[in-house]
Amino acid sequence: MSLEDKVLQVLNGPTVARIRFRFPIAGGHITITPHTFHRVARAVRSGAVIVRRPTDLDPTAGAQYNDVARTRQDGTAVRANTLELNAVTGRFDEATIVHESLHAAYDLQRTAGLDANSEEASAITCTALCCRMTGLPLPRWTGSRIFANAERVAQTLLSQYQKGDRGIPMVGAAEWKTLRIGVLLEPAYFLKGPAGLFGTLASVQYTHDG
């Protein structure tokens, strides 16, 4: 099975089919449902989103979505709307695909008004939901503060799913706030932002231009 086929299998699979939640942004909220990821799957099939193995990502980075074109260390280019993915060998890799695909969805949908902090927090929430729903043991993925925080957000959502309510639950306010603070303090996020930590605090937004 090709790397692209594996991505499509995850995005159209039973775990993604259960993901649904809302989270607040200034002046409203954003809703995530399975259709969010199915749109990305359609974009992969049509070639609007390209799936490629990276050649220069940090080995600890399982995947990366490029909303804009970037230049590799060797001077060659990676086009915009490319999902770079090392491998799909287990449940955490699958969760990482869902995480990065949410970034792709925001880009494809030209989502406006979403700050980078909330975007990362929502993507990490998707990681946590996937890990919980596929039964990945907590010690294998909650070793860092940020994933431990995301696990608490996911647990609140899963408790709503388990009630059988077909509605789309809102993230727990306290858990969401804690996760967002964790994103602010996570070097992997604030050091790569276009304006560093100050930029994140000032509600920098990633590029969402389709």
Mean pLDDT within 140-165: 91
User: What residue type is assigned to position 52 of the chain?
Assistant: R
Mean pLDDT within 107-136: 95
| Tokens representing residue 125 in the block | 């929430």
First-to-last C-alpha distance (Å) of the chain:
28
pLDDT at 155 over 70: yes
Q: State the Cα–Cα distance between residues 186 and 179, nearest whole angstrom.
A: 10
Does residue 51 sit in helix, strand or coil?
A: strand
Q: State the Cα–Cα distance between residues 79 and 49, nearest whole angstrom.
A: 10
The pLDDT value recorded for residue 189 is 65
The pLDDT value recorded for residue 109 is 97
Confidence of residue 203 (pLDDT cuts 50, 70, 90): low
Q: State the Cα–Cα distance between residues 205 and 101, nearest whole angstrom.
A: 17
The pLDDT value recorded for residue 88 is 86
CB-based contact 88:10 (threshold 8 Å): yes
DSSP E strands: which ranges in the chain? 21-25, 28-32, 50-52, 63-66, 70-71, 77-78, 82-85
Mean pLDDT within 101-117: 95
Reference 86, options 130, 52, 120, 126; nearest CA is 52
5-15 residue pLDDT tens: 999 999 999 99
Confidence of residue 192 (pLDDT cuts 50, 70, 90): very low
User: What residue type is assigned to position 208 of the chain?
Assistant: H
| Tokens representing residue 166 in the block | 């077909």
The pLDDT value recorded for residue 193 is 41
pLDDT at 121 over 90: yes
Handedness of CA 33, 34, 39, 40 (dihedral sign): positive
The pLDDT value recorded for residue 165 is 77
Q: pTM of the full predicted structure?
A: 0.92
CB-based contact 187:146 (threshold 8 Å): no
The domains of the chain are located at 3-201
Cα separation values, 100 from 106, 131, 159, Å: 10, 15, 25
77-101 residue pLDDT tens: 889 999 999 888 899 999 999 999 9
Cα separation values, 30 from 95, 145, 169, Å: 20, 25, 11
